Structure 1
Amino acid sequence: MMTSKKKLILSVNLFGIVIAGCSAIAAYEANDESGEEEKIPVGILHSLSGTMAMSETSVMDAELMAIEEINEAGGVLGKELVPIIEDGASQPSTFSERASKLLQQDGVDVIFGGWTSASRKAMLPVLEGNNGLLFYPIQYEGMEASPNIFYNGAAPNQQIVPAVDWLLENKGDEFFLLGSDYVFPRLANQIISAQLEENDATLVDEQYTPMGHTDYNTVISRIQESKPSVIFNTLNGDSNVAFFQQLADAGITPDDVTVLSASVAEEEITGIGADAIEGHYASWNYFQSTDTAENEAFAENYQEAYGSDRVTGDPIEAGYFMVHLWAKAVEEAGTTDVDEVRAAADGIQFDAPNGTVTIDGDTQHVHKTVRIGEVQEDGQFEEVWNSGKPVEPDPYLEEFDWASDITEP
């Protein structure tokens, strides 16, 4: 449990770190020279400003909470973890620069962070060039494997593919694809298009808007003209606020078309407003409403630390459990050395709020249960389907013949 002092220091709002007498970094740098060797620096790199701050700030909060839990339990290898926080500012180039600074100047072995695939791909050559580890918390488009990244969000077979199957069975077969214009939505929509073709379903339109885009009148006109049964939404950041509010303002309701989102969790619903998104769906591996004892404690501790009005969500939960997975791998390895931690990570498990997660050593992804939820009037999800057990990651979709021609754009 966090002390009241740490709760004050680590409190965060949607726009960045709240300075409570001192910065979050300074709060952890009670580094008198005599205790320096008893500390392990770790990097935290998220967008605390820009279009992605609404989503990423809360993931940072969960990572800090996990670090505090680990420290209160005795640390890692008997040493205190010291987070060094950097702002990626919603710019891939800034993520690259900040990752380089953390690895080269601050001497961290591991970075917890990122959200967009553009930010991850910008960090990748820096990580490989400096042999650092990134623990990445977000669902993504797959078709990637790096020895320097542990992927803790869903691979496409743990989110996108089962969501399309569910939609085809329950909501219709005429799809409108809408996404932000970068690698995740474009590759996700390649996957969806191939899956629709395999199932003799119809792709009625495919539209992309820049990150941070806020005028969806033209897109909504196309939706009204094409009359899809399903919109598969891969917008990111605060573009979701504009889209859903303008969709509701246009009088388009879930009775007219089902919207299923891949990047809208409870945090984003808070920004959108539940009245504008109620009745639509999302596919994740975790919801705040997920019924496990671990989740009850997690949600309670998160709200005690950051405020009773705060919500949890899939990326927040993944940010939390991935810190614990890394810590367990370090304990197994007996060192923070990247190569030895990588070798020790295979099969490491943690009883996460969503259920038990297990690192797959071959892919450096995790086994996760898939869930689909419907947004309720209180901004929470009611789970309408789940996979019944954790799904083995398949980032290259090797089990699906129809995916053989998918290539990164």
Structure 2
Amino acid sequence: MNNLSRRRILQLGAASGALLASRPELGRLAAAQATPAAGPPITIGLLAPVTGVFADFGDLMTKATNLAVEKVNAEGGILGRQLSVIAEDDQGDPAVATERARKLLVQDNVDILMGTVSSATTLAVLPLVNEAQKVFFYPLDGEDKTCLPDGSTNPLVFGLGDTPQQRLVSFVPTIVEQAGGDWYFIGNDYVFPRSVNAVAIDFLNEAGGTVVAEEYVPLGTSDYRPVIDKIANSGATVVFSTTVGTDGVAFTKQAREGGLFDRMTVTGVATFAPEVYSGLQGFAEGVLTADRYSDQIDNEVNAEFVAAFREAYDYQLPIGGTAAACYGAILLWREAATIAGSFDPEPFAKACEGLAMTLPQGDVEIDADNHLLTQHIYLLRIENDTYQIDEDFGEITHPGHEGCSVV
């Protein structure tokens, strides 16, 4: 993106952020009384699990998307067209996600689709996206899902979350150096934890570490005490958790109560996501994790986003990368549509390729070859109800379509 465009976004964002912070009702009024649209509304289909194990993620996705839509509408929309959102609850279930995605794509005929949390639900939706020939952005971290079965890039699919390769390449050797190389891996039994752990094990081996054990439990497990007893007696120096959502909260609480944190370093990804911090609060102090985002990031776009989010929703907990990605997606779409002069799928998707700009998480660029976001990865420490940045590992690009789960 050219510098003039970036300055324009920052200037617009700062002005609207100050206005909404002082008089939030004016933002809603401006959205309602915006300049007459240059065409019919652009309809966004949002698949967000607001019930089920991933409900915390879905709630934040919905809040951030609506906040960004209100902002962009107040500033004239996209190509003069206002935005509207049709949201569906996929419940974190692949069968439900398929049904709800079909409704959005066929019955509602949305212009663009965003959403899903788990890899299983994302993979379930992809065939419908290809059939409908609509652009799809998934905002969550996880393995690459932008490829086609032949290894080429799906022209309609973009991933805003970081991949395990991006998140772990610097994080794993950092933890080995700080806490030792004998690792116990525990995760839920589905695509995401297994793919993350496979990558982590590769990096662990490169760092000279050893896998003490690798164990998976069903999603929805509530009693982790038998597993925690095994970990405590395993001789491991590090436990790396990829238990997710409410499972991760249950694991963390029981590990803290069972004294596991006193015996070894407890770390991981997804388990300690800010999205579930309401459940982790008081149990995850001092944990080191890696992520693409912290609400402590110092840039103007993030300052506006954080202030507007807290004001709109009276939200005082840490804000996570899911919300930042959904908010940032709307800003990316506005810029790409401006470049393309169109929101039609083919020219719009082409304009997304190589697009670079500053979003809440920092400087990003959509890789033109694999449609994944090159972005910063941060070493974060949970401390005093915040995710403090211990280190910025820099902008990291995913290698090709390594580890793509589309078959």
TM-score class, shorter:
0.7 to 0.9
Answer yes or no: is 1:385 the counterpart of 2:360: no
The separation in 2 between residues aligned to 1:52 and 1:150, in whole angstroms, is 21
Say which of 71, 76, 101 aligns to 2:103.
101
The separation in 2 between residues aligned to 1:45 and 1:300, in whole angstroms, is 25
Between 197-206 and 182-191, report the one with greater CA deviation. 197-206
The separation in 2 between residues aligned to 1:152 and 1:143, in whole angstroms, is 11
The separation in 2 between residues aligned to 1:48 and 1:143, in whole angstroms, is 23
Counterpart for residue 125 of structure 1: 127
Counterpart of 1:76, as a letter, is I
The separation in 2 between residues aligned to 1:349 and 1:151, in whole angstroms, is 14
> Contact 1:265/1:313 (CA < 8 Å) preserved in 2?
yes
Counterpart for residue 184 of structure 2: 176
Counterpart for residue 3 of structure 2: none
> Contact 1:131/1:148 (CA < 8 Å) preserved in 2?
yes
> Contact 2:318/2:387 (CA < 8 Å) preserved in 1?
no
Change in Cα spacing, 1:385 to 1:235, as seen in structure 2 (3 Å) is same
The separation in 1 between residues aligned to 2:27 and 2:49, in whole angstroms, is 21
The separation in 1 between residues aligned to 2:406 and 2:93, in whole angstroms, is 21
Counterpart for residue 16 of structure 1: none
The separation in 1 between residues aligned to 2:26 and 2:126, in whole angstroms, is 32
Counterpart for residue 284 of structure 2: 277
Structure 1 runs of 4+ aligned residues shifted over 4 Å read 1-9, 34-37, 406-409
Counterpart of 2:388, as a letter, is E
The separation in 2 between residues aligned to 1:222 and 1:202, in whole angstroms, is 17
How far off its partner does 1:4 sit? 4.4
State the identity as a percent.
29
The separation in 2 between residues aligned to 1:150 and 1:80, in whole angstroms, is 23
Say which of 330, 338, 343 aligns to 2:337.
330
How far off its partner does 1:209 sit? 1.7
The separation in 2 between residues aligned to 1:107 and 1:224, in whole angstroms, is 52
Indicate the SS of the match to 2:332.
Answer: helix
The separation in 1 between residues aligned to 2:158 and 2:138, in whole angstroms, is 6
How far off its partner does 1:144 sit? 4.8
> Contact 2:222/2:247 (CA < 8 Å) preserved in 1?
yes
Answer yes or no: is 1:303 the counterpart of 2:310: yes
Indicate the SS of the match to 1:238.
Answer: helix
> Contact 1:321/1:352 (CA < 8 Å) preserved in 2?
yes
Counterpart for residue 22 of structure 1: none
The separation in 1 between residues aligned to 2:26 and 2:242, in whole angstroms, is 36
Indicate the SS of the match to 1:147.
Answer: coil
> Contact 1:176/1:228 (CA < 8 Å) preserved in 2?
yes
Say which of 359, 364, 384 aligns to 1:357.
364
How far off its partner does 1:143 sit? 6.5
How far off its partner does 1:408 sit? 8.0
Answer yes or no: is 1:288 the counterpart of 2:290: no
Counterpart of 2:136, as a letter, is L
Say which of 149, 156, 161 aligns to 2:157.
149
Between 90-99 and 289-298, report the one with greater CA deviation. 289-298
How far off its partner does 1:261 sit? 2.4
Counterpart for residue 396 of structure 1: 401
Between 251-260 and 196-205, report the one with greater CA deviation. 251-260
How far off its partner does 1:383 sit? 1.5
Answer yes or no: is 1:261 the counterpart of 2:263: no
Q: State the TM-score, normalizing by the size of structure 2.
A: 0.86
Change in Cα spacing, 1:343 to 1:144, as seen in structure 2 (3 Å) is closer
Q: State the TM-score, normalizing by the size of structure 1.
A: 0.86
How big is each residue's C-alpha offset from its partner over 1:241-294, in whole Å with a ceiling of 9 and x where there is no partner?
111110111022256323232353223122222x21111122101111222232
The separation in 1 between residues aligned to 2:24 and 2:206, in whole angstroms, is 55
Indicate the SS of the match to 1:276.
Answer: coil
Counterpart of 2:137, as a letter, is F
Change in Cα spacing, 1:39 to 1:254, as seen in structure 2 (3 Å) is farther
Between 205-214 and 246-255, report the one with greater CA deviation. 246-255
The separation in 2 between residues aligned to 1:47 and 1:53, in whole angstroms, is 5
Change in Cα spacing, 1:390 to 1:195, as seen in structure 2 (3 Å) is closer
How big is each residue's C-alpha offset from its partner over 1:124-164, in whole Å with a ceiling of 9 and x where there is no partner?
11111111121111111237523222100102222022221
Q: For 1:35-46, what aligned pairs fall within 5 Å after superposition? A: 37-46=39-48
Change in Cα spacing, 1:111 to 1:90, as seen in structure 2 (3 Å) is same
The separation in 2 between residues aligned to 1:407 and 1:84, in whole angstroms, is 28
How far off its partner does 1:70 sit? 0.8
The separation in 2 between residues aligned to 1:6 and 1:96, in whole angstroms, is 38
Between 262-271 and 181-190, report the one with greater CA deviation. 262-271
> Contact 1:229/1:257 (CA < 8 Å) preserved in 2?
yes
Counterpart of 1:176, as a letter, is Y
Counterpart of 2:352, as a letter, is A
How far off its partner does 1:169 sit? 2.2
Question: What do you get for the CA RMSD once the two structures are aligned?
Answer: 2.5
The separation in 2 between residues aligned to 1:150 and 1:369, in whole angstroms, is 17
> Contact 1:321/1:350 (CA < 8 Å) preserved in 2?
no
How far off its partner does 1:308 sit? 4.1
> Contact 1:179/1:233 (CA < 8 Å) preserved in 2?
yes
> Contact 2:183/2:238 (CA < 8 Å) preserved in 1?
yes
Indicate the SS of the match to 1:277.
Answer: coil
The separation in 1 between residues aligned to 2:405 and 2:362, in whole angstroms, is 32
Q: How many residues align?
A: 378
How far off its partner does 1:210 sit? 1.7
The separation in 2 between residues aligned to 1:36 and 1:108, in whole angstroms, is 18
> Contact 1:254/1:279 (CA < 8 Å) preserved in 2?
no
The separation in 2 between residues aligned to 1:99 and 1:159, in whole angstroms, is 29
The separation in 1 between residues aligned to 2:169 and 2:238, in whole angstroms, is 15
Between 228-237 and 306-315, report the one with greater CA deviation. 306-315
Counterpart of 1:386, as a letter, is D
